[in-house]
Amino acid sequence: MSRNVAVVGIGHSRFGRRTDVNIAELAFESIKQALEDAGIDRKDVGFVTVGSAGGWYEEALPAVVINEYSGFKSVGTMRVEAACASGSAAVKVARDMIASGETDIALAVGVEKMSEVDTLTSVELIGRAGSYMWEFENYGMTFPAYYALYAVAHMNRFGTTTEDLARVAVKAHKYGAMNPLAQFQRDITVEKVLTSQVVAWPLKLYDSCPLTDGSAAVVLASEEVARKLTDTPIWIRGIGYSSDSANLSKRDDYIGLRASVEAAQRAYSSSKVGPEKIDVATCHDCFTIAEIMAYEDLGFCRKGEGATLIREGQTEIGGKIPVNLDGGLKAKGHPIGATGVSMIVEITKQLRNEAGRRQASIKNGFGLAHNVGGTGHYAYVTILSRDAT
- Identify the active-site residue in 12, 173, 284, 334: 334
Task: Name 81's Cβ contacts closer than 8 Å, sequence gap at least 6.
Answer: 51, 52, 53, 54, 89, 337
pLDDT at residue number 242 = 98
| Residue 259 to residue 83: CA distance in whole angstroms | 14
Task: Out of 84, 209, 283, 301, pick the active-site residue.
Answer: 84
Topology of the domain comprising 5-117+211-229: Peroxisomal Thiolase; Chain A, domain 1 (3.40.47)
Instruction: Give, for all 389 residues of the chain, the pLDDT tens digit.
Output: 599 999 999 999 999 999 999 999 999 999 999 999 999 999 999 999 999 998 889 898 999 999 999 999 999 999 999 999 999 999 999 999 999 999 999 999 999 999 988 888 887 777 766 666 666 555 567 788 889 999 999 999 999 999 999 999 999 999 999 999 999 999 999 999 999 999 999 999 999 999 999 999 999 999 999 999 999 999 999 999 999 998 888 888 999 999 999 999 999 999 999 999 999 999 999 999 999 999 999 999 999 999 999 999 999 999 999 999 999 999 999 999 999 999 999 999 999 999 999 999 999 999 999 999 988 999 999 999 999 88
* Residue 84 bears catalytic tag: yes
